[in-house]
Amino acid sequence: MPPKPVPTQRQKRLGHELRRMRVAAGMSAEDAAKLLGVDRGKISYMESGVRNISEERLRTLAHHCGCTDERYVNALAEMASAGSQGWWEQYRGALPNAMLDIAELEARTTRMRASCTVHIPGLLQTTDYALAVFRAVLPRLPEHEIAMRAAYRSRRQEVLTAHTAPHFTGIVHEAALRMQFGGTRVAREQLDHLLARSEEDGVAVLVVPFAHGSFPGAGQTVLYAEGATQQLDTVQIDNAHGPDFLYGEAELSKYRAHLERMEELALSPDDSRDFIRAIAHGMEEASCPRSNGKSRSAGKGTRASG
């Protein structure tokens, strides 16, 4: 079978782990090829993710590399045997591969934590809000692609209601709550939806108010997806050019510390809900028609920090 020209993020990660295991054991690629009964070039393909490795060969390599972490090896074996039957495959060729990689990452994680500064986490967005976010992309997307991306995001959200749904914590800065993507009505409906989702089992929403001061990082959107073992955790960061995936040990440690600090700065789940309600109420009052020649106070009811 010819090697796959464009490996998925899962395949790249598996290849990365194979190489890390081999190098840690001091085994050369030539020795690994002899051990597995393949030529040297196939080892390179396996470690770059463009060629699959069988579960049997993976376990053979792990054994000869002295890897005794059974949970880790079993998780790698599951990654190796995972097929390409995920629902996201129906979008392959229509959407960027990296967007499909996010759905696969979410589907295979055990717990997710996301921090967002200027918009609501994607897994908790309404359709109208998502449409407004996609319409802000430059260069502008055609309407049919905007609709497809919104539908794809809605399908991704089903991961939080699946039978084996991972626990999700969304750490949302006050700025994101006040940003009115799509206008006041869409923003208000989004806050109502966020409140409803925050009441569901397995979903936590934590708000970091302006009043709590500075926070780590540059304010980028970060998703930390936990794997079967900590070695297999993944950080996904949104950028204007598309998502980046990080899994170096130092990078994972850095972003774990960032999210832990943001959780420390955030309000409790109950106080966060009260804070969101106050902002939503303020939006409602600001949008009310003038009465007796005077407008209602736009700031009334919007202070809920503690």
Three-class secondary structure of residue 127 per DSSP: helix
What CATH number has the domain bearing residue 22? 1.10.260.40
How far are the Cα atoms of 42, 170, 258, 266, 304 from residue 262, in angstroms, in the given order? 44, 11, 6, 6, 18
pLDDT at 289: 63
The total number of structural domains in the chain stands at 2
Same domain for 240 and 143: yes
pLDDT score, position 241:
86
| Shared domain check, 94 and 29 | no
One-letter amino acid for residue 236 of the chain: Q
What pLDDT, on the 0 to 100 scale, is given for residue 104?
Answer: 96
23, 46, 81 — which closes off a domain?
81
Both 123 and 50 in one domain: the answer is no
248 and 169: one domain? yes
Q: Are residues 93 and 77 in the same domain?
A: no
**251 in the same domain as 177:** yes
113 and 15 within one domain? no
Residue 171 has pLDDT above 50, yes or no: yes
Same-domain pairing of 62 and 180 = no
Establish if 291 belongs to a structural domain: no
Domain termination site, one of 65, 81, 97? 81
Write the pLDDT tens digit of every residue in 33-50. Answer: 999 999 999 999 999 999
104 and 145 assigned to the same domain: yes
Same domain for 31 and 110, yes or no, is no
Same-domain check for residues 139 and 251: yes
- 297 in a structural domain: no
Q: Is residue 3 part of a domain?
A: no
Q: Render pLDDT for 207-249 as a digit per residue (tens, 0 to 9).
A: 999 999 999 987 889 999 999 999 999 999 998 888 999 999 9
Q: pLDDT (tens digit, 9 = 90+) per residue, 264-300?
A: 999 999 999 999 999 999 998 887 765 454 444 444 4
Mean pLDDT of 175-200: 98
Q: State the helix-helix crossing angle for 70-81 and 9-24, rounded to 10 degrees.
A: 140
Helix (H, G, I), strand (E, B) or coil at 92: strand
pTM strictly above 0.95 = no
User: What 8-state DSSP symbol labels residue 30?
Assistant: H
- pLDDT given at position 290: 57
Residue type, 90: Q
Mean pLDDT of the chain: 92
Q: Which domain holds residue 222?
A: 87-286
Rounded Cα gap, residues 54 and 292, in angstroms: 76
Q: Are residues 149 and 25 in the same domain?
A: no
The pLDDT value recorded for residue 305 is 40
